[in-house]
Amino acid sequence: MAIHRPGWSLDRRDPHFVEAFQPLWGWLYEHYFHVQTEGWEQIPDGQVMLVGSHNGGLAAPDMFMMIYDWVRRFGPDRPVYGLMHPKVWQAAPPLANLAERAGAIAAHPKVALAALDRRASLLVYPGGAQDIFRPFSQRDRIHLSDRKGFVKIALERQLPIVPVVSWGAHDTLLVLADIYPLMQQLHDWGMPWFLGIDPEVFPVYLGLPWGIAFGPVPNIPWPRPIATHIGAPIYFERYGAEAARDRPYVEACYRRVRDQMQQDLNDLIAKHSKRSAS
């Protein structure tokens, strides 16, 4: 008998559920976060891998606004699956199950490949928890946590990578510091992790509803404007299984994606800084 693994079922995605939430997401998009998005015309036809850097704690409003925008423009029948850390199913099962119905799947190569086999696209945020909880002082830096699995999948399946960067969601909470090294030391001395789960990050932040919070606890984002830029698709010179196994080549492709995302973010910051000044 097959063992069910949370986040591994592609059949949990429900297009009717996705459509039902579009009015709520639309109100947040237009009136709460005042999202400005540019570059949708750069997304090619067919399957793509959207690679982003996100902000704003577990609420990650720029990520959810991106999913809303995708459905608004392409409809629920051009599916995109978002890769989510498997620990979310351990820490917050009800929220994880709702996310599954919207198209979230566990961030595991086998699950990602299964989604591609169904001719779906992928939305990947390689930086994970270290990215969404990076300190406010690092808000203008792309942080992909040196994870290169997404590059290997793109090379193996010959997918264009479409970089997605955003600016503003870091203002929806204020991350002061990440004290994970200290908490790891306390754990080594015998202090257990909450729920028995190593969180990999332990932020101290100012935000709703807690005021000041310790640890990667859920938050309600402050209403702040968010700007998103969808960059030109990145095509590599070599594809296939052999390219995906070539470590130096994978590293070079990873650096190319990271550097392009950093340039796109720099341009986005400069553009919106000028608007704010005027």
CA–CA separation, 85 vs 158, rounded Å? 24
Amino acid 235: pLDDT? 97
CA–CA separation, 121 vs 82, rounded Å? 9
Amino acid 194: pLDDT? 64
Amino acid 193: pLDDT? 63
Query: For residue range 234-250, what is the model confidence (pLDDT) as tens digits?
Result: 999 999 999 999 999 99
Domain ranges of the chain: 10-174+225-277
Please report the sign of the dihedral spanned by the C-alpha atoms of residue 138, residue 95, residue 71, residue 152: positive
Query: For residue range 176-204, what is the model confidence (pLDDT) as tens digits?
Result: 999 888 878 877 787 766 655 567 888 99
Q: What is the CA radius of gyration of the chain?
A: 18
CA–CA separation, 179 vs 116, rounded Å? 37
Question: Strand pairing partners for 50?
Answer: 123, 162
Of 231, 245, 67, nearest to 152 by C-alpha is 245
Element (H, E) at 24: helix 15-27
Strand order in the sheet with 121-124: 36-38, 227-230, 161-167, 49-52, 121-124, 80-84, 104-106
Rounded to the nearest integer, the mean pLDDT of the chain is 88
CA–CA separation, 151 vs 244, rounded Å? 8
Of 244, 186, 224, nearest to 35 by C-alpha is 224
The SS3 call for residue 82 is strand
Q: How many CB atoms lie within 10 A of CB 246?
A: 16
Output 175 or 86, whichever has higher pLDDT: 175
pTM score over 0.95: no
Amino acid 86: pLDDT? 78
**Mean pLDDT on 155-169:** 95
Return the amino acid letter for 136: F
Q: Are 57 and 219 in contact (CB under 8 A)?
A: yes
* ω into 216 cis (within 30 of 0): no
Query: For residue range 111-142, what is the model confidence (pLDDT) as tens digits?
Result: 999 999 999 999 999 998 889 899 999 999 99
**Mean pLDDT on 25-43:** 95
- pLDDT classification of 3: cutoffs 50, 70, 90: very low
At the topology level, CATH places domain 10-174+225-277 in Glycerol-3-phosphate (1)-acyltransferase (3.40.1130)
